[in-house]
Amino acid sequence: MTDAAKPVTTHALVAMKAEGRRIVMLTCYDALFARLLDASGVDLLLVGDSVNQVLAGEDTTLSARLDQMIYHTKIVCRGAQRAMVICDLPFLTYQVSREEAIRNAGRAMAETGCHAVKLEGGVQMAPTVRALVEVGIPVMGHIGLTPQSVHALGGYRVQGRDQEAARRLKRDARALEAAGAFAIVLELVPAPPAAAITKSLTIPTIGIGAGPRCDGQVLVLHDMLGLNERFKAKFVKHYAKLADSVKDAVRAYSDDVRSGKYPDSSHSF
């Protein structure tokens, strides 16, 4: 864990990698969970465009909008004290032009108070990353399975299985580092190439389905807590079964209301 008294910064993350300290990252979409995660010592809170699937019930992240991301990032920032808050830039907010990327990322930073943005893509997005960094916007990269390109990739599939694909991923990672990204998410990448990429960089890698040798790990909060019963993936470890707890609690509440047990005199004025 990083120093509980100090806010997590981009420089702190690079130092954590150099010192071999693992980085903890979770998605977060609201102030209440932000307070809980921050108090639990989580280093990075990613306001992912996965909110479009987890909370909005969409099949993909593609229809997420900038206003939606700004709303959720702003309320996460209200709950975070120490953790770094990162706003995911949604589809088509940074791909059209570098000028539009700067405008949209700058708006996200200004209106939410977040500490950084995240975008998907490797070599082809490196010039955009550089443009953002040059105007003072910290950028986290994201390669491997990039959900905003799910249809082009042929679905949610592991990336980098063969040698040439693994070499492309390493080139992507190095291009993002050279462009000034402070960290890179590796999603659905086999463990060996993920380890090789991690070793080749001076900036940290954050894995999700990318094996144990990344500098840190990220999971979707609702998956890790066992709240999302519909999503099952090999890389997800359930640290709780809160879907069962929620259903049990709601059934008990419903029974008490229907039987007249709640509210009783102790819950009345």
> Which residues are identified as catalytic?
187
Which amino acid does the sequence have at 159? Q
What whole-number distance in Å separates Cα of residue 85 and Cα of residue 98? 23
User: CA nearest 218: which of 70, 62, 69, 88?
Assistant: 88
Which amino acid does the sequence have at 66? L
- Residue 66 main-chain phi, psi, to 5 deg: -60, -40
